[in-house]
């Protein structure tokens, strides 16, 4: 933080005040958001102020939402410091906090004035956080960019090793993909929803397991495998592509299944999915792979039994499922 405060203060024309937020999904809630507003009020900041979000996705989401509601909207700038934030959450204007009954259920679409990405910040990023962010990079290849996915298959080791050229290319290509989609559908009426491959399953895992148990990318990794498995079960993709999904996520050191001590069970899983933001008119809609690599659909027209069977398969050996079976 000191580095950026010093940079912004160099010409002496700006007043810089700082507020440190607790990080992590468990802190992405209204009580923490209010500390930003409290600080702004105490400092008597007016509508000409600018909120700067320096940190990962949780920080960016909360600061952006605070900017959107403080005095009905003030400027804000994103300075993402994690792979996840650089390639996904800082781009596109989604802001918000979690609710006990659902992830990201309270928020707003609010675009930053700019996004400043400094890849040097990745040098201190924990390995687990780095790997988690790579799962979102993989998503772009699966849903719309075959050539990028094939590059990823060959370069996962380089990304894990923090190779500067590999990371620069991966971040740039991911941002280009997301920017194209957001430009076509800023408010997520249709095509932007495809950026949420694996997220409906993943958000259920994050919520049901307790926020903070999984990093976002880890839950999305399991969710992506579930979406691919369901797609293959319906015959929408072939088994070769399903294997490639498993292989690349495992190569990125991301989980592809629930642990034995997971509290998830089928009933909880399906109940949480039914509260997803992509539900419309009572119908759950999913992002699923269909056809050749680089193609997907956002649809409510799928085999519901295939979804239930997929959930059942993934929770079959979990502690939560065992408890549910015992109760029955």
d(CA 320, CA 260): 9
Active-site residue, from 25, 27, 28, 94: 94
Active-site residue, from 28, 139, 216, 277: 216
Active-site residue, from 25, 136, 206, 218: 136
Distances, alpha carbon 80 to alpha carbons 214, 217, 291, in Å = 20, 15, 34
d(CA 218, CA 322): 23
Reference 107, options 98, 99, 116, 95; nearest CA is: 95
Active-site residue, from 28, 144, 173, 192: 192
What does the CA dihedral 23, 29, 33, 34 come to, rounded to 10 degrees?
A: -130
| 136 included as an active-site residue | yes
Active-site residue, from 2, 44, 48, 72: 72
Q: Phi and psi of 77, rounded to 5°?
A: -125, 140
Quick one: tokens of 114?
């700019």
d(CA 211, CA 25): 5
| 172 included as an active-site residue | no
Active-site residue, from 129, 188, 206, 218: 188
Active-site residue, from 173, 203, 244, 277: 203
Q: Identify the bridge partners of residue 55 per DSSP, sorted by sequence position.
A: 80
Active-site residue, from 98, 104, 177, 196: 196
| Residue 137 near residue 197 (C-beta atoms within 8 A) | no
| 304 included as an active-site residue | no
Active-site residue, from 28, 103, 139, 178: 178
| 19 included as an active-site residue | no
| 47 included as an active-site residue | no
d(CA 45, CA 118): 27
| 285 included as an active-site residue | no
**286 Cβ partners below 8 Å, 6+ apart?**
200, 227, 230, 278, 298, 299, 300, 302, 307
| Residue 123 near residue 162 (C-beta atoms within 8 A) | yes
Residues designated catalytic: 72, 94, 136, 178, 188, 192, 196, 199, 203, 216
């Amino acid at each position: 933080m000191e580095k950026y405060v010093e940079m912004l203060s160099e010409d002496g024309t700006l007043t810089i005040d700082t507020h440190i937020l607790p990080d992590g999904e468990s802190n992405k809630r209204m009580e923490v958001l209010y500390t930003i507003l409290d600080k702004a009020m105490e400092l008597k900041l007016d509508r000409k102020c600018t909120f700067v979000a320096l940190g990962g996705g949780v920080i960016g989401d909360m600061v952006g939402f605070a900017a959107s509601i403080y005095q009905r909207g003030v400027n804000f700038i994103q300075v993402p410091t994690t792979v996840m934030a650089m390639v996904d959450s800082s781009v596109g204007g989604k802001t918000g906090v979690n609710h006990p009954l659902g992830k990201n259920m309270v928020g707003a679409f609010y675009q930053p004035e700019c996004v400043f990405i400094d890849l040097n910040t990745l040098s201190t990023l924990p390995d687990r956080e780095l790997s988690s962010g790579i799962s979102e990079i993989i998503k772009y290849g699966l849903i719309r960019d075959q050539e990028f996915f094939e590059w990823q298959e060959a370069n996962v080791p380089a990304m894990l090793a923090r190779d500067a050229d590999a990371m620069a290319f991966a971040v740039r290509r991911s941002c280009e993909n997301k920017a194209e989609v957001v430009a076509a559908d800023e408010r997520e009426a249709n095509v932007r929803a495809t950026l949420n491959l694996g997220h409906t399953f993943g958000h259920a895992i994050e919520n049901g397991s307790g926020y903070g148990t999984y990093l976002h990318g880890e839950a999305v990794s399991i969710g992506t495998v579930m979406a691919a498995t369901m797609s293959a079960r319906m015959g929408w993709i072939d088994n070769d592509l399903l294997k490639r999904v498993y292989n690349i996520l495992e190569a990125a050191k991301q989980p592809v299944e629930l642990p034995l001590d997971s509290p998830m069970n089928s009933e909880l899983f399906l109940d949480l999915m039914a509260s997803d933001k992509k539900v419309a008119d009572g119908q759950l809609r999913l992002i699923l792979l269909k056809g050749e690599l680089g193609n997907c659909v956002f649809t409510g027209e799928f085999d519901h039994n295939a979804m239930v069977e997929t959930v059942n398969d993934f929770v079959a050996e979990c502690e939560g499922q065992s408890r549910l079976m015992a109760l029955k």
